Chain A
Amino acid sequence: MKQKQHGFWDDVKKYRSLLLMLVPAVLFFLLFAYIPMSGIILAFKQYDYTGGVFGSPWNGWDNFKFFFNSGDAWRVTRNTALYNIAFIVVNNVVQIFAAILLFEVAGKWFRKITQTVLFLPYFISWVVVGAIAYNLFNFDVGTINVLLKGLGMQPVDIYNTAAYWPVILVVVSAWKTLGYGTIMYLAAITSIDTEMYEAAEIDGANIFQRIMKITVPNLMPTVIILVLLAIGNVFRGDFGMFYNMVGNNGLLFSSTDVIDTFVFRSLTTSNEIGMSAAAGFYQSLLGFVTIMLANYAVRKYDKDRALF
């Protein structure tokens, strides 16, 4: 005797309208994320146009060997990680600093105006940032060199000197994200219980003590979570930033080439599809491992904040 079970197809029927509503999103992520994932086999193939992704002959680990023996692998990995670590440290410190100042000293209208101005760079494209950089750093007519010449000093050839770029890129990143982060931290500070401040004031705490003993410790959970989540992306470069700031300037590669620009260049300029697929696969793996580690750390710290 058979008993009718509550099966899979009954659920499909039950949720058919909800499932139907998910169809576009599922299709989207299949087409633009999941099916391309299968393309990682390209990293192990000698790509040719007639064969395509699946018809091209295998060549084992050759693409990886080529990538790691080229001398670029170490350089781009190091640059990507170091830039992101510098961005995380500098951006968060400046943002927290600005948020505390806005909260502590600024009057209402001053706070509003400052917030608006600080947020401005967030809204413009990296192309426009590139144009601004050109305006500042150009050898002949750039503002910085105009100032240096005005002071009787030698102009500096910024676009041809690799050593300047780590500083420039860190400053630009801080500049572009300042408003966004400041608002996030300001929101976190505003949600701190005001009674704590009142009690501290009654006890005669000065502004420094208030900041160090109340604001900063209460911000730490937010900071730690945001930093851990950012660490998960330490091997992902901001392509728009690097590409618009330095473009394909080979003279600067030693200090500006990151995995993303390297992969892009190998794909579009030198057309080394197999090798750039291998480098992309390598980046995805590094990213996956760091996200897992960061998530593990978040989970240890605060279970509710973990990604999964």
Chain B
Amino acid sequence: MILSIIGYVTLTVLAIFCIFPFILVVSSSLSEESTIIEKGFQIFPSSFSTEAYSLLFKYPEEMLRAYGITISVTAIGTLFGLFLTSMTAYVLSRRDFKWRGRFSFFFFFTTLFSGGLVPWYLMIVNYLHLKDTLLVLILPLLMNVFYIIVMKSFMSSIPDAITESAKIDGAGDFRIFMQLIVPLSKPALATIGLFIALAYWNDWYNALLFISKSELMPLQYYLYKMLGNMDGMRKAMMASGAVVNTDLPTESLKMAMTIVATGPILLAYPFIQKYFVTGLTIGAVKG
């Protein structure tokens, strides 16, 4: 009895530890700037103001464009990434494919050794000429060896008899993959798809390295820029027609931007969380 009380208390403390920073950001974004300057960021704000949000939504062009970039990159990247990952995984899961070991190692070796940041960077900028294109936000995250391996082990558990009988009926390999294997792999596709989508949504690194045009900035990088540079914020607002001659409520604005940039993830999170849990659980049990 005492033990379970201790257990509940400990878990509650851990849970508060995890959620506390989020509450702090939300309440800061809803505080008056003067209160923040005077009393600092507080958990229970002693003033209430939606000024930061109304400023954000008054001239939303930059933010909406960043949203648009992130949504399109996430949608395109997840779709193609998932298709290519599962197609590759299917070939590697085919036990009758003579070179499956060799190709598996070809992919796997890239996780053991790499040329490092500099050659990779030069390849993308100087040889593929992808700097300041939408493609540079999509391509580097398209495929990941870890996802291929997870998908492959899931597909290996689909009985060979299915592929065999389809072959006898005269179906080609690609058709077997699209019409039989893909529908049977829905749980794995959902999980890996979510992982890929999350990676795209949260990506700012490729933008940091390769994007200098403001119209190509994805959401997280836009947030990163604005957090570090409120002058940029001011300029962006002036450029979009705002008359900003007084001081911006910078502190609460930073927090409001953080909330708006995180928003969709936070809203979708309770619904997609269970797929992650299922996927992780499958992965952990199978090892």
Contacts and interface: CB of A to CB of B under 8 A. Distances in A.
Interface of A: 11, 15, 17-18, 20-22, 24-26, 28-29, 31-40, 42, 52-53, 98, 101-102, 104-106, 110, 113-121, 123-128, 130-132, 134-136, 138, 140-143, 145-146, 149, 175, 178-180, 183-185, 187-188, 190-191, 207, 222, 225, 239-240, 244, 247, 260, 263-264, 267-268, 273, 276-277, 279-281, 283-284, 287-288, 291-292, 304-305, 307-308
Given A40-B119, A187-B280, A280-B115, A98 B14 contact: yes
Contact of A288 (B113, B121, B140, B174): B113
Interface in B1-53: 3-4, 7-8, 10-12, 14-15, 17-19, 21-22, 24-25, 28, 36-37, 39-43
Given A17-B174, A21-B177, A125 B112 contact: no
> From DSSP, what is the main secondary structure of chain B's interface residues?
helix
Interface in B80-117: 84, 87-88, 90-91, 94, 97-99, 103, 105-108, 110, 112-117
A85 B270 CA distance: 32
A202 B63 CA distance: 62
A5 to B, nearest CB: 15
Contacts of B8: 105-106, 110
Contact of B113 (A37, A98, A222): A37
> From DSSP, what is the main secondary structure of chain A's interface residues?
helix
B131 interface: no
28 contacts: A11-B99, A21-B177, A22-B91, A25-B107, A36-B119, A39-B118, A53-B119, A101-B11, A105-B4, A118-B18, A124-B202, A124-B262, A125-B262, A127-B202, A127-B220, A127-B221, A127-B223, A132-B258, A135-B24, A138-B41, A140-B40, A141-B251, A143-B24, A188-B284, A240-B205, A263-B118, A267-B117, A291-B112
B84 A25 contact: yes
A191 B284 CA distance: 10
A131 B227 CA distance: 7
Contact of B15 (A21, A114, A125, A247): A114
A185 B117 CA distance: 33
Contacts of A240: 204-205
A123 B11 CA distance: 20
Interface in B263-287: 265-266, 269-270, 273, 276-277, 280-281, 283-285, 287
Contact of A277 (B91, B116, B209): B116
